Amino acid sequence: MADKSKFWNDAGKAGLVLAAVAVVYYVLNVLLSKWEGGGFLANLVTFILWGCKFALCILLMVRFLKSFAKDNEFERRSTFRYGMAIAACSALVYSAFTLFYALVIDPDLYAETFNMMGQTYSSILTSEQLDQIMNMESTMPTIAFFTNLIWCWLVGTVISAIASSRICLPDNPFDE
């Protein structure tokens, strides 16, 4: 049981590091979205920040997996599971933060977004369609939580699968 405890403790710490990177990106992205007059420049900075966050998360995940694989004799299955655990911990922390941010820190976050959407699409959509979209506002924090949770875990799992297959070479079938 001590091995499982160490496994989850290490995965949790690595997940916190990845979540911290994602949280910093999220806060900067929210602040940039509130920058009036930012326009193209704000969108460009947001895109560059997203690319940096994504690349940094991949590099950190690979580093954590290499360290784990080295300590566990490069066993592919356990390295992949470790990556999935890191992804799950990171996704949970990041999703919880986005929910907390939307409900406590900035409760008007989605209201502002939906009002802007309503103004933008009022000439295109019927009033019934617009009302249906506006009714989603109250459920957006929950939808965003589960969407982030699933998406982040899935991306982390794919990265873990690719990285673990490259880090841990397959067993030689001719050794037997």
Domain boundaries of the chain, sorted by first residue: 2-167
Average pLDDT for residues 78-84, to the nearest whole number? 95
Question: What is the DSSP secondary-structure string of 89-146?
Answer: HHHHHHHHHHHHIIIII-TTHHHHHHHHHHHHHTTTS-HHHHHHHHHGGGGHHHHHHH
Question: What's the pTM value of the predicted model, to 2 decimals?
Answer: 0.85
pLDDT digits (tens, 9 = 90+) for 35-80: 776 678 888 888 999 999 999 999 999 999 999 999 888 888 999 9
Confirm if 28 and 52 have CB atoms less than 8 A apart: no
CA–CA separation, 99 and 147 (whole Å): 11
